[in-house]
Structure 1
Amino acid sequence: MSASRTERLLNLLIALLNTRYGLRRSELRDKVYHDTSSSEVAFGRMFERDKSDLRQFGFDVETVMDQGWGSDDPATTRYRIGKESNRLPDVSLTSAECTVLILAAQLWEQAALGSAAQDAMRKLQAAGGLTEAELPAGVQPRIKPAGQAFEDLIRAMHAQHPVSFTYLAGSTGREEARTVEPWGLGSRFGQWYLVGFDRARKAKRFFRLSRFTSAVAVQEKDDYSRPQGFNVRLELDSLPELPVQSSVVDVAEGRVLGLRKRATEAPADIPLDAPLETSDAGWDRLSVPFRDAEVLGEELASYGPNVVVRAPAELVSAVRRRLKAAADFVASPAPAIAFSEAAPAKRPRKRTSEDQLKRMLQLVPFLVHNQGLHITEVASSFGVTRKELEDDLRILICSGLPEGYPDDLLDIQWEDDHVFITQDLDLNRPVRFTVDEACALLTGLETLNGLPELAEGSALESVTVKLMAAAGEEGLKAASIAGPQVGPANSAYLSTIRQAIADGLQLHLAYFSAQRDAMSERDVDPLRLYSLDNTWYFEAYCHSAQGLRNFRLDRIESLEPNGRPVTEAAKPAEGFPVKLFTPNDDDTLVTVELAPQAIGLADDYYSERTAPLPNGGLLAEIRFGSTGWLPTFVAQHGGAVRILAPASLAEAASDWIGAALARYGG
């Protein structure tokens, strides 16, 4: 959509909103399109495309026919947009309900639904539905979707396009090409699943996103219809949990302490499947329980040559396949390392003219309800630069009624850097929620049911009812997404940390560091709690490290107040939510190549620069404070990540993977 088309659509929208009886196509062609050169057929196609675009933005164009004439006669057909049918209903929220809703909107981290949640909140703010709210002290739950596949599936699902991908079948252990009509996405047993209709098998199937072995391709020229009344949570509830099995692994003496915590000594007479014998000296034979060979296989592959899987054969295959894929990726020809000097610090989605028009439709009611805001504050609220905002405002002030007088144009002023709007032309109320926006908020609210204390109050239930009513038909489609449970496994630790934050007291903890594969004891000043799915962390000032650190609650061996108050050095990092990884200037700058299915890692690790590759992959520059664990990182992702520079780190990762493969016969 070009800038001129954006302006034309805006003028068409204003014209159709501000007519009571409707406008004929000839009137629109003359007064809005100013079209005199194209044929009637060509103009008709353009007008139908524009009506379709307005429908995507939430405006249904009504067709009104003169009595006694048919709709196939363009000379007697008029068009208009009802002023109420497309508007977001009034929503009045209490302070407690706003608290819950803000937490729900903030759940989605770096995901397609994250921007949708922000758009929905801006609409509620523009409608005057939000009040002042105080968030729970230091608590921020978040949902971490399953990589790029999640983004692509959401887009295809809401547009109702089939998708194709390569999938590692659990029943056969082979990679297979699948074409699927995506019906819903949900989290179950700590994993994200796609529920959809498999066209080749002509039946409903469940697909775990962690078993996708290729990027998702969206078939945009094809469509499908989702079953009536589909609810992904009910579908996933029918999935039986896999039975617990026992594996046999040889673990290097004194290494991999985290795995040892949940392992037991293996029976001497247990049958083995791995082809390579390890010497008894320097190794311990352990039994590790598991439910899914692929999940445990990803973890065991990351331990490289420090672990050898002996049984069962399915787990041996899962680990060896990942190591082989990592070795093949490392050995393949490397792309040239080239970044644009203007490359952004993050990898934002490319802005389009559709984004601009959607933003302008939110901007007018926002300005009506927030008169006099400084222009930089308005730009910050919409996540754009001042220049981008001024470009929006310049288009808006040139838009209005067809062939109208100056008073018939949108009137916005910002000469003194404070923005005022005095003529809104019936754009003063926000458009109803889109499917993405309804899904983001309603799925977030449902996910909060597992959060201690929050689920016990009535605010969660009441705000859900109000949002469902406001979302209407689009809210029913939120049943296509089900988030994970965000409740912590150890609520006692969560309660202790929250109380320490509130009281301003230090904590003493014994903590297992997976990167260093070691236990340590620390005194810390707790600052904030947050989560990714049901994995909880807390940010604290560590007196041993003399800096901010993030600690996983499930890696804490013991935790108790030490009786001392927090120090003046205890200041939380800027911004919220907390970053898991805080880059420093003295960190090592590492260049990695990400396969198409893993490009989301660039956001997860806060890459400084990125560059797209012809195959759909990505180059990324990332700062790492500790580089000793990077071979583990490469092995874990099994052919989706490799290090390009520095050369010493690339060589170390290659040697690590080679040594691990050698344990399985090469």
Structure 2
Amino acid sequence: MPAKVPERLLALYSLLVARERPLSRAQIREGIEAYRELGSHAAFERTFERDKAALRQLGLELGVEHRYGEPVYSLDRFGLWLPEVRFDAGERLVLGMASRLWEDPRYGEEMDRAVWRLGLPASEAAHRSRIAVPGLDPGGHGFEVVLSALPRGEELSFDYRPGDGLTRRRRRLRPWGVGQRFNHWYVSGWDPERGEPRTMRLSRMSGIVSGPSDAPEPPPGFSMTRTLEDLADSGGARLRLRFAPGLLPVVADWLEAGTGLRRDPAAGEPERREGVVVLRAEVTDLEECCRCLAEVPGEVEVESEDLGPKALGEVWGRVAELTEAAARLTRLLESAPAQDAGAPHDPEAPRTRRRESNPRRFLRLLDILAYLGSRPGTTVGELAERFGATRRQIGRDIDAIAAAGDYLIGGGDLRIESLDGELYVHLTQHLDRPLRLPPEQVLRLLLAMRLLAEVAPELDPTIAAVTEKLARVAPEDSLDAEQVSIRVEPRTSGIVDRLRSAMEGGRSVVLAYRSRGREAATPRRVLPRDLYTTNGSWYLSALSLEHGDERTYRIEAIERVEEDASDAVATPAEGRRRDAAAASRPGRESDAVAPDLARPGPGVTPSAPDAARPERLLVWISRGAPRIAEQLDGETLRPLRLAEDPAPGVPREGDVVDIELRDRSGLRRYMLHHAGCVAPLGAPGWWTRA
């Protein structure tokens, strides 16, 4: 049977670690049975090149020298292994809390592995803090490229669209720091073209690639925290919006989200003139403003002295492009064979297990080896508890380690034995040492620490101690803690503090809350049970004292929090139910930019028939817009490639996704907002009915 990739990588790593002198390609092939089994020299060359690339991608650099006209290889051992670092009980608690803040499951698994390497058992890493902390959303592939380039001093090249424009141009930036404010990620650094520092929003950067740079390093004393403090979320051009009164809830949703438009702080309440509402607003992002207007094409008039006739013409041109892209995609998908999209949705059917990547498995095998090497006699059960896995999973890992040892000629460098249920390994020198954390993982932990410091200042001394120790576990001089920062706005922090205090004290409060689709806020008496976040947005789960059931409320839609004069207090049974609900939450819930489109909206309970028999809908979602599937909380059934292009710049590859439909007209607006990227599948007339 051909060798599996993780076992082959482990054999290659073990061979290179065991040899003090560099090895030629012929020596490597001779020393690893898995390479000899490949047969032809060409097959070995292809496989070895892939394995080298996989190790380098994981931060295990292979040094290359030339001796007698041929390349020889060795592992670059500088900064390869983790220095000794110890955390006390309080520091372990904070580190475990920080490791759970990243919402992306891939990042969560990486953080788990990082804190395991730092000495935290799985039980501490998985600790769910009672402190309400917003989750960290990486915001797409570009974030990973930035985090990788930052400690390496590389330069970014990308297409950039300014907030007050609709066109992109190629830009360059050598990043000095990265941080989050106003629920957006920002990258600060040196702009070689302008010859000065610049700060850019990550969501406006696309097509990001990295490469060598000769731009200057961060100056002494550079602080991303100060950079974020100097940012202003002030609006751009001022507008007057005119629309029918029935559209006021829709416009209110736009202003509350603030991604494209925001209420002009200098303006008062909306004016009503002869059956028309006039509302003053500011543009926060012109492209997002166009997407808002495209939700109700032709139904909102716009006046603006700041933009002028030419810019307004470009706005309406962009709105027309978006509506046409949505219509075109809908026409392409109306006749699609929906019946072949997949099996009927079964809510009781288990979800398909996500396949673990080969590099991720290889790293876990290395971590298990390091743990066994320093603790001989460990049992399978102890390993399962240590790494948060099942006994069956650990058993497969042990078999994989044994197979990797078999692939080494002689097998003496890597051998594993089981005596009376206890495991013992025979290792070459250094295999019993854990790998040093790559800079990207340290940066993610540091960002999480920054966020903890923002919302839990009582932890500041402990956070400072952990941050200092984390700086020692990355390769020397690869990063500075001042290069990352998080800022939570005072309004959000104040509301969350009051809700957290009420939740911990078991007291009820009165919220001034505006539901989506409503014009104004109304009072809601609630008993707070849980605070959580998805994709940077805060949510409150609370018992509605008026309705007697648990509902979800958006923090951004809460205008104020007041003490409840009736002072309802949670009973011990209610407190236990609240704790059980928090403990049983399956990770962080999926994001809902418009949560009531495909499932019950926050603070809104569907009618009984809908709740009992929710309608389901198949939609096509472009592969170029993966966040839409998360936001609609759907289940991917199969891929579907379109016969024609759905819209300029939108890939034809997509997925058929099964969603639960709650608000037909709201979902239509959402599809218009994300024109060309999502549409109903095999449902003629759906668009018109919506």
TM band (smaller chain): 0.7 to 0.9
Letter in 2 for 1:8: R
Q: CA deviation at 1:144?
A: 2.5
1:507 aligns with 2:509: yes
SS in 2 for 1:538: strand
- Counting only pairs closer than 5 Å after superposition, residues 43-442 of structure 1 correspond to structure 2 as 50-51=51-52, 53-60=54-61, 71-72=67-68, 79=74, 85-110=79-104, 113-125=107-119, 136-147=129-140, 149-150=142-143, 168-169=161-162, 173-176=165-168, 178=170, 183=175, 186-193=179-186, 207-211=200-204, 216-217=206-207, 223-225=211-213, 227=215, 229-230=217-218, 233=224, 242=234, 245-253=237-245, 255-257=247-249, 258=252, 262=263, 280-299=273-292, 301-302=294-295, 307-312=300-305, 313=307, 314=311, 317-318=314-315, 321-322=318-319, 324-332=321-329, 333-334=332-333, 336-337=337-338, 338-339=340-341, 351-366=356-371, 371-372=378-379, 374=381, 377=384, 381=388, 390-400=395-405, 402-404=408-410, 409-411=414-416, 420-423=423-426, 425=428, 426-442=430-446
Q: Residue 470 of structure 2 corresponds to which residue in structure 1?
A: 467
1:305-325: per-residue Cα shift (whole Å, max 9, x none)? 764323254578547624641
1:164-204: per-residue Cα shift (whole Å, max 9, x none)? 87654556x44346375674654355433456888999998
Q: In the alignment, is the contact (CA less than 8 A) between 1:147 and 1:598 conserved in 2?
A: no
Q: In the alignment, is the contact (CA less than 8 A) between 2:292 and 2:673 conserved in 1?
A: yes
Q: Residue 272 of structure 1 corresponds to which residue in structure 2?
A: none
Letter in 2 for 1:618: D
SS in 2 for 1:445: helix
Letter in 1 for 2:403: C
1:329-370: per-residue Cα shift (whole Å, max 9, x none)? 233312554545599988998643223322322333356669
Q: In the alignment, is the contact (CA less than 8 A) between 1:59 and 1:86 conserved in 2?
A: yes
SS in 2 for 1:440: helix
> Would the alpha carbon gap of residues 316 and 532 (structure 1) be closer, same or farther in structure 2, given more than 3 Å must change?
farther
From 618, 621, 628, give the equivalent of 1:591.
618
Letter in 2 for 1:497: L
SS in 2 for 1:603: helix
Q: In the alignment, is the contact (CA less than 8 A) between 2:467 and 2:481 conserved in 1?
A: no
Instruction: Show structure 2 runs of 5+ residues with no match.
Output: 257-262, 601-610, 642-651
CA distance in 2: counterparts of 1:59 and 1:606, whole angstroms = 37
Aligned residue-pair number: 622
Letter in 2 for 1:461: A
SS in 2 for 1:410: strand
1:120-141: per-residue Cα shift (whole Å, max 9, x none)? 1232236x79969976425232
From 634, 657, 671, give the equivalent of 1:620.
657
Q: CA deviation at 1:218?
A: 6.4
Instruction: Show structure 1 runs of 5+ residues with no match.
Output: 65-69, 268-277, 654-666
Letter in 2 for 1:354: P
1:634 aligns with 2:671: yes
Residues 29-38 or 622-631, more deviating: 29-38
CA distance in 2: counterparts of 1:616 and 1:153, whole angstroms = 26
CA distance in 2: counterparts of 1:521 and 1:113, whole angstroms = 39
CA distance in 1: counterparts of 2:234 and 2:477, whole angstroms = 34
Q: In the alignment, is the contact (CA less than 8 A) between 2:79 and 2:475 conserved in 1?
A: no
SS in 2 for 1:469: coil
CA distance in 2: counterparts of 1:159 and 1:475, whole angstroms = 7
> Would the alpha carbon gap of residues 299 and 381 (structure 1) be closer, same or farther in structure 2, given more than 3 Å must change?
farther
> Would the alpha carbon gap of residues 351 and 577 (structure 1) be closer, same or farther in structure 2, given more than 3 Å must change?
closer
Q: CA deviation at 1:575?
A: 2.1
Output the TM-score relative to the length of structure 1: 0.75
Q: Residue 648 of structure 2 corresponds to which residue in structure 1?
A: none
SS in 2 for 1:355: helix
Output the TM-score relative to the length of structure 2: 0.73
> Would the alpha carbon gap of residues 477 and 226 (structure 1) be closer, same or farther in structure 2, given more than 3 Å must change?
farther
Q: CA deviation at 1:616?
A: 3.8
Q: In the alignment, is the contact (CA less than 8 A) between 2:242 and 2:302 conserved in 1?
A: yes
Q: Quick one: percent identity of the two aligned structures? A: 24
Q: Residue 443 of structure 1 corresponds to which residue in structure 2?
A: 447
Q: In the alignment, is the contact (CA less than 8 A) between 1:247 and 1:310 conserved in 2?
A: yes
SS in 2 for 1:472: coil
CA distance in 1: counterparts of 2:214 and 2:112, whole angstroms = 27
Q: CA deviation at 1:529?
A: 1.6
> Would the alpha carbon gap of residues 151 and 545 (structure 1) be closer, same or farther in structure 2, given more than 3 Å must change?
farther
Letter in 1 for 2:632: Y
CA distance in 2: counterparts of 1:148 and 1:345, whole angstroms = 29
Q: In the alignment, is the contact (CA less than 8 A) between 2:530 and 2:541 conserved in 1?
A: yes
Q: CA deviation at 1:55?
A: 4.1
> Would the alpha carbon gap of residues 169 and 81 (structure 1) be closer, same or farther in structure 2, given more than 3 Å must change?
closer
Q: In the alignment, is the contact (CA less than 8 A) between 1:294 and 1:315 conserved in 2?
A: no
Q: In the alignment, is the contact (CA less than 8 A) between 1:304 and 1:632 conserved in 2?
A: no
Q: Give the CA RMSD over aligned residues.
A: 4.9
Q: CA deviation at 1:464?
A: 0.6
Q: Residue 30 of structure 1 corresponds to which residue in structure 2?
A: 30
Letter in 2 for 1:588: E
CA distance in 2: counterparts of 1:137 and 1:628, whole angstroms = 38
1:370-416: per-residue Cα shift (whole Å, max 9, x none)? 9435499569836xx887665443221122384436x7543265998
Q: In the alignment, is the contact (CA less than 8 A) between 1:450 and 1:486 conserved in 2?
A: yes
Q: In the alignment, is the contact (CA less than 8 A) between 2:635 and 2:657 conserved in 1?
A: yes
From 431, 437, 461, give the equivalent of 1:458.
461
Q: In the alignment, is the contact (CA less than 8 A) between 1:252 and 1:282 conserved in 2?
A: yes
Letter in 2 for 1:13: Y
CA distance in 2: counterparts of 1:498 and 1:279, whole angstroms = 39
